């Protein structure tokens, strides 16, 4: 396991695991994010949220994704990362609540050289966002384009 990202494609072999966090999730953060970007009652109204399906205030999935990206940039994305053409299989599995501590686990699933750009590699990974109990709250499979080590 690593807590530091590599620098080049070759630093991300299949099976490598990167970890990061924890990041604390606060009620003011949940409310601020949701009021601005996802103003649904379960994210912005404590009374409505308490009476709703989740029995209390929960973070927007997009807020959870933003926190995931903060940890991903710090603990997985290489220096000079090229880009990501997208991701697959985004899932919000459990609600994130005020007081939760989130952490990150990234497992490299596939790593191959680009067929069209030999100075680049393509890395597919499984990203898991975990709560303080180690339970998954969000998963996704991003695709990352990375520079290859100069020869």
CATH number of the CATH domain containing 76? 3.10.129.10
**Bridge partners (DSSP) listed for residue 125:** 108
Dihedral (Cα; 65, 51, 39, 71), 10-degree rounding: -20
Structural domain contains residue 117: yes
94 close to 135: Cβ distance less than 8 angstroms:
yes
When divided into structural domains, the chain yields a total of 1
pLDDT at residue 83 in the model: 82
The residue segments making up the domain with residue 99 are: 9-24+68-147
Structural domain contains residue 114: yes
Structural domain contains residue 60: no
pLDDT at 88 over 90: yes
The pLDDT of 25-46, averaged and rounded, is 96
Structural domain contains residue 47: no
pLDDT at residue 3 in the model: 63
pLDDT at 1 over 90: no
pLDDT at residue 38 in the model: 96
The pLDDT of 54-68, averaged and rounded, is 97
Structural domain contains residue 131: yes
Query: Of residues 1 and 26, which shows the higher confidence score?
Result: 26
């Amino acid at each position: 396991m690593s807590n530091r990202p590599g620098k080049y494609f070759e630093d991300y072999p299949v099976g490598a695991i990167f970890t990061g966090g924890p990041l604390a999730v606060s009620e003011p953060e949940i409310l601020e994010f949701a009021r601005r970007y996802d103003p649904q009652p379960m994210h912005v109204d404590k009374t409505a949220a308490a009476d709703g399906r989740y029995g209390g205030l929960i973070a927007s999935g997009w807020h959870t994704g933003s926190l995931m990206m903060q940890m991903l940039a710090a603990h997985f994305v290489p220096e000079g990362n090229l880009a990501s053409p997208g991701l697959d299989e985004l899932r919000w599995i459990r609600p994130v609540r005020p007081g939760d501590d989130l952490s990150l686990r990234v497992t490299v699933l596939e790593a191959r050289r680009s067929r069209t750009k030999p100075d680049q590699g393509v890395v597919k990974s499984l990203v898991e966002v975990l709560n303080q109990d180690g339970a998954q709250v969000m998963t996704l499979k991003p695709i990352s384009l990375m520079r290859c080590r100069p020869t």
